[in-house]
Structure 1
């Protein structure tokens, strides 16, 4: 899918950093940005359906470099920002960078772009969360309904704030995913925050019966469940054992795909080939580039 306004914007971007634009294109055609002394760009990690390995979307991550060497993570930069205004500025810059780098690629297709929201930003913006980003997307001719904003797991004292922020994002046309620490918290968030997705660390699954109860509750609420941090072969094997969970379960982790600048195609095979088996066995660990969907 092509976006004419975005394509025109990209054509006009400089090929090197300059004062006239917040973004520029590197030699590979990727958009980059500058924040203090760090150069920022995007990488993307797929979320795949357990049932057939198809890509449902990509989560964006920032990669930062200084003088050509890896620099502090953007979240660390955000934590070191002197004030809330600077953290909001960095967050908006990263969101714009990710949107440009995602939608410029034909492989974005009909998939969703997942963007994380740092917990510092929940309180840094007083009201109407998402309005500024919605305007940026509108100025680039990009669809708001393809963006999923990922909110951090709520602290016991922060439920009101989470629900308030989620409500604002929903009013501005975004969909919401919430990271949850365990199945009990997932059940609570289902009732309160109206998410489109829940993201559960696969390592938090201690009882398959509880997981099936959560999946049943998710179906009642029309919510998809993502098992994240599938970063090793034992966790990949656990994911493979959940075939009975049904087609709505999504998987994400280093044993599935490592983050990369390019988007993963819908299938890893050539066009017209059969879909890959879900989570085929392979010998991987958290340091491996091997994919369980290869």
Structure 2
């Protein structure tokens, strides 16, 4: 379905809200609570081949006077759990639409954040609604890595249940490595497909058991950081060396090639 038709469909389905998706040039933006929302994409690269395997989506929040706000201020303004759930899904729908708009040259997987408050505000069937949204966009859970930055002590049994529900639906999970090494076993027990670690501490890779899980290093800005990440056994990386966050994704294939192929061991579609 063309992006314009999808926008009309989602706006019609959400007629009771004050949010609106709209076309802005060759991209999609959203109007929510008097603010303009947009998407940025940062390439995620295989560190050995330096090929782009996916993109990490992030949110931009802009006032009507053009001034930018930190995205978290938008979520802080949510009065309750249902408001967080609605906003979180709106943002991920926006990212999916902007990713879809570039499908002629952009494949691989889309890594999108799930707000920690969303996990607790939904009682069950986590990922079901977003799966229906993705299918409208011609995508599916196998094309998505859900990026979750939540302390394991905050997740609790309900959070673990939410992650299991996402996994059963076919989503892949990226969890952030804890600042304290003592908390690492609790994160690993949640069986993430990807463990995200800051470039400032790549040596943490050495303490992670090698398995089907992959290590993603954030903040690889130069060759030295790349060398450190490789020497410590990291698999994936983001940073200025591979590309700054941008409204445009990095090309992963020519227009003649189908961007969505069977998932690789990275949880990616190469």
TM-score normalised to structure 1 length: 0.75
Which structure carries more relative contact order (alpha carbon 8 Å, separation 6+)? Answer: 2
| Equivalent in 119, 134, 137 of residue 137 of structure 1 | 134
Aligned residues: 245
- Quote the Cα distance in structure 2 between the aligned partners of 1:176 and 1:255: 24
User: Which ranges of 4 or more aligned residues in structure 1 deviate by more than 6 Å?
Assistant: 17-21
Q: Which residue of 2 aligns with 1:225?
A: 215
Larger Rg: 1
Deviation at 1:70, TM superposition (A): 2.7
On the 8 A contact 1:153/1:180 being kept in 2, the answer is no
State the superposition RMSD in angstroms.
2.5
Deviation at 1:12, TM superposition (A): 6.6
Which deviations, in whole Å up to 9, do the C-alpha atoms of 1:166-190 show, x marking residues without a partner?
A: 1111122211111112454344322
Deviation at 1:124, TM superposition (A): 1.3
Alignment of 1:1-294 (within 5 A): 5=1, 7=2, 9-11=3-5, 13=7, 22-26=20-24, 28-105=25-102, 106-109=104-107, 111-182=108-179, 183-190=181-188, 192-205=189-202, 208=203, 211-214=205-208, 217=209, 219-220=210-211, 222-231=212-221, 233=222, 236-244=223-231, 249-266=235-252
Distance 1:29 1:202, change over 3 A: same
Structure 2 residue ranges without an equivalent (≥5):
254-270
Deviation at 1:13, TM superposition (A): 4.5
On the 8 A contact 2:215/2:236 being kept in 1, the answer is yes
TM-score normalised to structure 2 length: 0.81
- Quote the Cα distance in structure 1 between the aligned partners of 2:138 and 2:225: 41
Deviation at 1:237, TM superposition (A): 1.1
On the 8 A contact 2:217/2:229 being kept in 1, the answer is no
